[in-house]
Structure 1
Amino acid sequence: MKQLGLTFAAAMIATTAIAQETSITLGMQLEPPNLDPTGGAAAAIDEVVYANIFEGLTRFGPDGAILPALARAWDISDDGTVYTFTLVEGATFHDGTAFDAEDVKFTLDRARAEDSTNAQKALFEGITAVEVISPSQVRVTLEAPNGALPFNLAWGDAVIVAEESAADNATSPVGTGPFRFADWVQGDRVELVRNDAYWGDPVALESATFKFISDPTAAFAAMLAGDLDAFPVFPAPENLVQFESDPRYTVIVGSTEGETILAMNNGVEPFDNPLVREAVAHAIYRQAIIDGAMFGYGTPITTHFAPHHPAYTDLSDLSNHDPERSRELLAEAGYPDGFTTTLKLPPPVYARRGGEIIAAQLREVGIETEITNVEWADWLETVFKGRDFGLTIVSHTEPMDIGIYAREDYYFDYAAPEFVAIMEELSATTDDSARTALLKDAQTMIAEQHVNAYLFQLAKTGVADARLRGLWENSPTQATDLTGVSWAE
């Protein structure tokens, strides 16, 4: 009987191990404020739902390529103003309702409506009409040619939602993706389960749990204890060397679209003065922030543009570390003794740790900062929406998002007419070389006017069980795409 008991126990352990091979538990530092990517600006929303619960007409691949999704193909008129999308057939939403062209029309009309709450409403402003041709075809008409429309429609803000369920997506998201929403225990986790009625290729995982662990020390402990299978954006870069030396883990280092900036409120004194903004830029020593806050992970940037993009322009001479020049500029601007301002820091490591280093660098030139640590929801409400700040640190993880500098209602309050004109010309330009020239002009303008102080491109540093396959190395968008994730056999 004793031997039988041991055999039974071994069998139970083996069965449990097999069960675990069909699920995954992932760590993430920030809890999303809601689960509707069409109605919230937080990157944490897309980290959970993009490509997992929700799908768009197009999507980003792991290499940044624009791939078909709910649109299996599209045709473009000769003048570039009409896109005709042919949709996949047989797709359904998680509540059983059918997906068709009416859902596309509802989604795009809702996103571009006057009362739209979409955080990236500007993506849809060039659309003048959305027409249903048939259940599987939809026509999108633009006011001017826009070769970037398939790119724009790949954003999480452009995922397709159904009129029947859209109002409740913040707490009970209903999409067409390979995973269904199962539960959200606020303050702890979000649970997903496989959608066995998925229209596309089936996924390997039966379930996935996203656990929220904001403290870097706790994240390290949770990985070591086996409570997590992966932490795709690991918040404690100082501990990566320990995982690198342990064969049980894989350290995944890649790039992101995250331009990390010291944002300045251009609409209030003293940051409405370009001399003050330039003084701030010259006070910053980027490498010290990368080394001190990110333990060397990150690439210095000199404008709001990803350095891995072929159109990136190095403008280091406009904002090199020069404290003496910074003091001279402050005196010229009327602040010979410096000034005091607020520095509001959201939870990510780059902000909290980086903020202390930046505060010390600014102090050297006479700028005192009153640091306030704010939770993500408060940052979105008071800084992003309310513009109640002097300085803040944030990483803009949306892909190719230099166009935000043309938005009149954006939180750092810039939108210079000459920059808006460049973006309008860029939108109407399809020639690659001409687009590159315009992108270089845009980068140069915001760097010369020191709209913000540009710090570094956020690295993607993840840790995973060595047996896991298919996690993204790079982050062309802020997502934890589980569609290709599996356990090694």
Structure 2
Amino acid sequence: MFGKAASILSVSVGALVIALGVSGPVRAASGAEVFNVVAPFEVKSMEPSTSGDVFLRTGVAETLVDVDENGKPLPALAERWEVSDDGKVWRFFVLPGVVFHDGSNLTAESITHALNVALARSGGLLAKAPIESIAPEGETVVVTLKQPFAPLLAFLAHNTTQILAPASYAADDTVVKVIGTGPFSLGAFEPPLKFSVERFDGYWGEKPAIAKANYLAAGRGETRALLAESGDADYVLNLDPASRVRLEKGDKVDVLSIAIPRTVLLKVNAGHPALKDVATRQALSAAIDREGIATAILRLPDAGATQLFPPSVGTWHNKSIAPLAYDIDKAKALLAEAGWTPGNDGVLERDGTRFAVTLTTYPDRPELPLIAAALQEQLREVGIAATINSTNSSEIPAKHQDGTLELGLVARNFALVPDPIGTILQDYPPQGGDWGALNWSNAEFNAAIDALSRTADASEGQVLRDKAVSILQAELPVIPVAWYQQTAAVSKKVEGARLDPFERSFGLAKVRKAP
């Protein structure tokens, strides 16, 4: 059995090596070695709203604002900015001397066009900011707001607001080419699995050491680990826990690890007949042995999530609230109070209906199917029958939209927008969000988030954050399971590799291969 599985895996690795175009070290025409990156994320299209993160990570595109490793806004394509006293008018000064990959100049007009396209995207992040207009004025871009909006800079650092050249767009503003300003230009593009980038000699900043990089999407964690171990990949992201431990013990690669503001959580359909009661959701939470999952599956005993936001999120981690805890007796008592009684097969019943739900997850994050299996057993202990559906990650938002999702196990990063309020506005608006609440809304929570988005006062903001987090902890529209650590395997020949806590960059512009 294991021999057959290993043979199949070997074939899949071989196919991916061919896809990468590698067999040992490959060199670009200039003589510089090609850098091979492998990650689980498929590239759906050139459109920033669907695949902008991968073009930002590989250094093809850039944003008006960047952030440091603590989430503090930094100048990028805007060399500086000013804001009016009433907080409604922001003026961004365009960095001079920047050219796009097609040789055209970065101007206030080109930035304005890219941002207005992002603003017009239905359901896009920028559309959630109270923007009245974005217009060029000389060498500045003026963003006028309907009301003060403190996280505007964080929104302008998000990958969906990347600045592309006018030639990137068709007449209807569909993106047909990714022409950015980054240190690398886009080369061969073969969605959904691979593309290449090449060093852009006209880059305005520090020039990269590597001449070319290949990107390959590989969904299986074991396959990615073997590509790292074999030397066919230089930088492999998202190791499954078992592979991480094995690679750490070996001497073929360096394993990098960093705590990031990402949480593994259960997305709950709060409109489902069996899940609509707060007490039932609290019972599900109490049935979860987070420490056991963190220890046995993640191999990180301290990663059990006692609340939604991990300590790495700083001001959003509320130390004053009672932590979520494993208490199987409490779970059973809450379910009994909600009217559930054991059936002949041990599965709970109420009004003739079994407590049976489908738990949807995806293998892009290799630990998720394993956690799903553990949750299935733990829920069974309290009488809940969960059927696992491990499928494409796109099924989570699809099932959210059509209302068929019951439970979804996901890994949500709260710093893709460097200020977590950006993700909160996406995930927990009154109508719900693809990766957050489903059929849940709370007037106090909505008011707190609205007030938080308007205030620049640190102490007032902290009170509002604590209140919002307390409401999420009490009502559990999503149920936290584990906090996350990002991992990567890096070739011993690579120098300067690092992990970005905000997952904005693979760091290609800073790496080099040792002679």
Mapped contact 1:178–1:203 kept (Cα < 8 A): yes
Distance 2:233 2:174 in 1: 27
Mapped contact 2:59–2:505 kept (Cα < 8 A): no
1:394 to 388, 410, 414: 410
Distance 2:58 2:82 in 1: 23
State yes or no: 1:341 paired with 2:357: yes
Could you tell me which residue of structure 2 aligns to residue 5 of structure 1? Answer: none
Deviations, residues 91-111 of structure 1 (Å, cap 9, x unaligned): 233233332112222233333
2:487 to 438, 461, 469: 461
User: How do 1:19-418 and structure 2 match up within 5 A?
Assistant: 22-37=33-48, 39-40=49-50, 45-50=52-57, 52-113=59-120, 116-123=121-128, 125-134=129-138, 136-167=139-170, 172-186=177-191, 188-234=193-239, 236-296=240-300, 299-311=303-315, 312-314=317-319, 317=322, 319-337=324-342, 338=348, 339-347=355-363, 348-383=365-400, 385-399=401-415, 400=420, 401-403=423-425, 404-411=427-434, 412-413=437-438, 414-418=440-444
The alpha carbon displacement at 1:155 in A equals 1.1
Deviations, residues 124-160 of structure 1 (Å, cap 9, x unaligned): x2111222111x2011112222232112211112212
Deviations, residues 297-323 of structure 1 (Å, cap 9, x unaligned): 772323332312332114773531111
3-state secondary structure, aligned to 1:375: coil
Deviations, residues 237-285 of structure 1 (Å, cap 9, x unaligned): 2122333344442111101121211110123322222111111111111
Residues 312-321 or 215-224, more deviating? 312-321
Deviations, residues 21-75 of structure 1 (Å, cap 9, x unaligned): 54210111231323433x22x7xx5144336111111123344332211101001
Distance 1:297 1:184 in 2: 41
3-state secondary structure, aligned to 2:488: strand
Distance 2:485 2:451 in 1: 31
Residues 425-434 or 287-296, more deviating? 287-296
Distance 2:462 2:321 in 1: 19
1:420 to 427, 446, 454: 446
| Structure 1 pair 386–19 and aligned structure 2 pair: CA distance change class (3 A) | farther
Paired AA for residue 402 in structure 1: I
Distance 1:478 1:415 in 2: 30
The alpha carbon displacement at 1:325 in A equals 1.1
The alpha carbon displacement at 1:444 in A equals 0.7
Alignment length (residue pairs): 467
| Structure 1 pair 93–391 and aligned structure 2 pair: CA distance change class (3 A) | same
Structure 2 stretches of 5 or more lacking a match? Answer: 1-23, 343-347, 349-354
Distance 2:360 2:169 in 1: 33
Mapped contact 2:228–2:253 kept (Cα < 8 A): no
| Structure 1 pair 267–176 and aligned structure 2 pair: CA distance change class (3 A) | farther
| Structure 1 pair 390–170 and aligned structure 2 pair: CA distance change class (3 A) | farther
Deviations, residues 159-204 of structure 1 (Å, cap 9, x unaligned): 1234442358766422221111112334542211112222222222
Could you tell me which residue of structure 1 aligns to residue 9 of structure 2? Answer: none
Paired AA for residue 70 in structure 1: L
Distance 1:215 1:309 in 2: 29
Mapped contact 2:61–2:182 kept (Cα < 8 A): yes
Paired AA for residue 512 in structure 2: S
Mapped contact 2:27–2:34 kept (Cα < 8 A): no
State yes or no: 1:446 paired with 2:472: yes
Distance 1:130 1:313 in 2: 36
Mapped contact 2:499–2:506 kept (Cα < 8 A): no
Paired AA for residue 112 in structure 2: K
| Structure 1 pair 387–92 and aligned structure 2 pair: CA distance change class (3 A) | farther
Paired AA for residue 475 in structure 2: Q
Distance 2:53 2:85 in 1: 34
| Structure 1 pair 377–451 and aligned structure 2 pair: CA distance change class (3 A) | closer
Mapped contact 1:303–1:315 kept (Cα < 8 A): no
Distance 2:35 2:80 in 1: 33
- Taking only the aligned residue pairs, the percentage that are identical comes to 24
Distance 2:59 2:369 in 1: 30
| Structure 1 pair 77–316 and aligned structure 2 pair: CA distance change class (3 A) | closer
Distance 1:14 1:119 in 2: 40
Residues 355-364 or 199-208, more deviating? 199-208
Distance 2:112 2:151 in 1: 19
Distance 2:202 2:326 in 1: 56
The alpha carbon displacement at 1:356 in A equals 0.4
Distance 2:145 2:384 in 1: 47
